[in-house]
Amino acid sequence: MAETRTTSTKVGEKRTPANDSDDLPGGVVEELAALRVIVEGTAHSTGAEFFQTLVRHLAQAVGAHYAFVAEFASPGTRTRARTIAFWSRDGFAENFEWTLAGTPCEDVVHGNLCHHPSGVRQNFPEDRLVVELGLESYLGVPLCDPEGKVLGHLAVFDDRSMPEEPRKLLIFRIFAARAAAELARLHLEWELRASEERLRDLYEEAPIAYVKEDLQSRFIRANHAARRILGIKPEDVPGLVGRSLVPDTPDAQRRVQEAFASVGRGTDTRGAVLEFRRKDNGNSVWVQWWSKPEPGGKYTRSMFVDITERVRMEQEKARLAAENVYLQEEIKSVHNFDEIVGQSPALLEALDKVNRVARTDASVLITGETGTGKELIARAIHSASRRHDKPLIKLNCAALPSGLVESELFGHEKGAFSGAISRRVGRFELAHGGTIFLDEIGEVPIEVQVKLLRVLQEREFERVGGAEPIKVDVRVIAATNRDLVKLIREGTFREDLFYRLNVFPIALPPLRDREGDVPLLVHLLVTRFAARVGVRIESVGKATLERLNRYPWPGNIRELENVLERAVILSNGPTLEIDPEVFASTPADRPPDANPPRSPGPEDEGRAVTCVQQTTPLESLEAITRNHIVAALEQSGWTIDGPHGAAKILALHPNTLRSRMQKLGIARAPHEGRP
Ligand SMILES: Nc1ncnc2c1ncn2[C@@H]1O[C@H](COP(=O)(O)OP(=O)(O)OP(=O)(O)O)[C@@H](O)[C@H]1O
* Binding site membership of 342 for ligand 1 (Cβ less than 6 Å): yes
- Residue 215 · residue 263 · CB < 8 Å: yes
Q: How confident is the model at residue 463 (pLDDT cuts 50, 70, 90)?
A: confident
* Binding site membership of 528 for ligand 1 (Cβ less than 6 Å): no
- As a whole number, mean pLDDT of residues 656-674 equals 70
Q: Say whether pLDDT at 1 is over 70.
A: no
- As a whole number, mean pLDDT of residues 513-537 equals 89
C-alpha to C-alpha distance for 85 and 287, rounded to whole angstroms: 54
Could you give the C-alpha distances from 569 to 122, 286, 532, 629, in angstroms and in order?
A: 133, 60, 10, 10
Q: What is the full DSSP assignment across 276-328? A: EE-TTT--EEEEEEEEEE-TTSSEEEEEEEE-HHHHHHHHHHHHHHHHHHHHH
Give 270-277's long-range contacts (Cβ < 8 A, gap of 24+): 270/419, 271/304, 273/307, 273/311, 273/417, 273/421, 274/246, 274/304, 275/246, 275/247, 275/249, 275/251, 276/230, 276/245, 276/246, 276/247, 277/245, 277/246, 277/247
Q: In Å, how far from its chain's centre is CA 405?
A: 27
Please give the DSSP secondary-structure letter assigned to residue 241.
Answer: B
Q: What is the pLDDT of residue 672?
A: 43
Q: How confident is the model at residue 658 (pLDDT cuts 50, 70, 90)?
A: confident
pTM above 0.80, yes or no: no
* Binding site membership of 514 for ligand 1 (Cβ less than 6 Å): no
Give per-residue pLDDT as tens, 474-483.
999 999 999 9
Q: What is the pLDDT of residue 437?
A: 95
Please give the DSSP secondary-structure letter assigned to residue 645.
Answer: S
Q: Say whether pLDDT at 28 is over 70.
A: no
C-alpha to C-alpha distance for 387 and 471, rounded to whole angstroms: 17
More confident residue, 412 or 7: 412
Q: How confident is the model at residue 8 (pLDDT cuts 50, 70, 90)?
A: very low
Instruction: Give 664: exposed, middle or buried? Use CB within 10 Å, 0-12, 13-18, 19+.
Output: middle
C-alpha to C-alpha distance for 459 and 438, rounded to whole angstroms: 16
Phi, psi of 421 (to 5 degrees): -85, 125
Q: Say whether pLDDT at 177 is over 60.
A: yes
Please give the DSSP secondary-structure letter assigned to residue 464.
Answer: B
**Alpha helices, DSSP H only, in 475-596?**
484-490, 495-501, 517-533, 542-550, 556-570, 581-584
* Binding site membership of 481 for ligand 1 (Cβ less than 6 Å): yes
- Residue 5 · residue 28 · CB < 8 Å: no
- As a whole number, mean pLDDT of residues 478-495 equals 94
Q: How confident is the model at residue 570 (pLDDT cuts 50, 70, 90)?
A: confident
C-alpha to C-alpha distance for 165 and 176, rounded to whole angstroms: 16
Q: What is the pLDDT of residue 331?
A: 53
Give per-residue pLDDT as tens, 48-69.
888 998 999 899 888 999 999 9
- As a whole number, mean pLDDT of residues 361-370 equals 94
Q: What is the pLDDT of residue 454?
A: 92
Mutate to test the pocket of ligand 1, among 344, 367, 375, 565 (most ligand atoms within 8 A of CB): 375
Give per-residue pLDDT as tens, 307-336.
999 888 888 887 787 777 777 556 544 444
Bridge partners for 219 per DSSP: 213
More confident residue, 480 or 582: 480
399 CB-side CA count, 13 A: 7
CA of residue 566 to ligand 1 center, whole Å: 17
Q: What is the pLDDT of residue 31?
A: 66
Q: Say whether pLDDT at 292 is over 60.
A: yes
- Residue 475 · residue 432 · CB < 8 Å: no
More confident residue, 301 or 81: 81
CA of residue 369 to ligand 1 center, whole Å: 10
**CA 388-389-392 angle, 5° bins:** 60
Q: What is the mean pLDDT of the chain?
A: 81
Share of the chain above pLDDT 70, in %: 82
Give per-residue pLDDT as tens, 428-454.
998 999 999 999 999 999 989 999 999
**Which one-letter amino acid corresponds to residue 421?**
I
- As a whole number, mean pLDDT of residues 633-659 equals 82
Bridge partners for 116 per DSSP: 138
Give per-residue pLDDT as tens, 123-136.
999 999 999 999 99
- As a whole number, mean pLDDT of residues 195-208 equals 85
Mutate to test the pocket of ligand 1, among 372, 383, 508, 612 (most ligand atoms within 8 A of CB): 372
Q: What is the pLDDT of residue 86?
A: 96
- As a whole number, mean pLDDT of residues 648-674 equals 72
**CA 277-424-388 angle, 5° bins:** 100
* Binding site membership of 52 for ligand 1 (Cβ less than 6 Å): no
Assign residue 206 a region (left: φ > 0; alpha: ψ between -120 and 50; beta: otherwise): beta
The length of the chain, given as a count of residues: 675
**Which one-letter amino acid corresponds to residue 107?**
D
Q: Say whether pLDDT at 593 is over 80.
A: no
Q: What is the pLDDT of residue 241?
A: 92
C-alpha to C-alpha distance for 655 and 675, rounded to whole angstroms: 13
Q: What is the pLDDT of residue 602?
A: 36
* Binding site membership of 558 for ligand 1 (Cβ less than 6 Å): yes
CA of residue 510 to ligand 1 center, whole Å: 11
C-alpha to C-alpha distance for 517 and 540, rounded to whole angstroms: 15
- As a whole number, mean pLDDT of residues 620-638 equals 79
* Binding site membership of 552 for ligand 1 (Cβ less than 6 Å): no
* Binding site membership of 600 for ligand 1 (Cβ less than 6 Å): no
**CA 394-397-400 angle, 5° bins:** 110
C-alpha to C-alpha distance for 560 and 616, rounded to whole angstroms: 9
C-alpha to C-alpha distance for 17 and 166, rounded to whole angstroms: 9
Q: What is the pLDDT of residue 630?
A: 86
* Binding site membership of 371 for ligand 1 (Cβ less than 6 Å): yes
Give per-residue pLDDT as tens, 370-414.
899 999 999 999 988 999 888 889 998 888 787 788 888 998 876
Please give the DSSP secondary-structure letter assigned to residue 484.
Answer: H
**Which one-letter amino acid corresponds to residue 395?**
L
CA of residue 477 to ligand 1 center, whole Å: 16
* Binding site membership of 335 for ligand 1 (Cβ less than 6 Å): no
Mutate to test the pocket of ligand 1, among 512, 556, 557, 599 (most ligand atoms within 8 A of CB): 557
Residue with CA nearest ligand 1 atom 1: 340
Residue with CA nearest ligand 1 atom 23: 371
Q: What is the pLDDT of residue 662?
A: 79
CB within 8 Å of 634: residues ≥ 6 apart: none
Phi, psi of 304 (to 5 degrees): -150, 160
CB within 8 Å of 284: residues ≥ 6 apart: 247, 275, 276, 277, 278, 308, 468
Q: How confident is the model at residue 675 (pLDDT cuts 50, 70, 90)?
A: very low
Share of the chain above pLDDT 90, in %: 36
Residue with CA nearest ligand 1 atom 16: 373
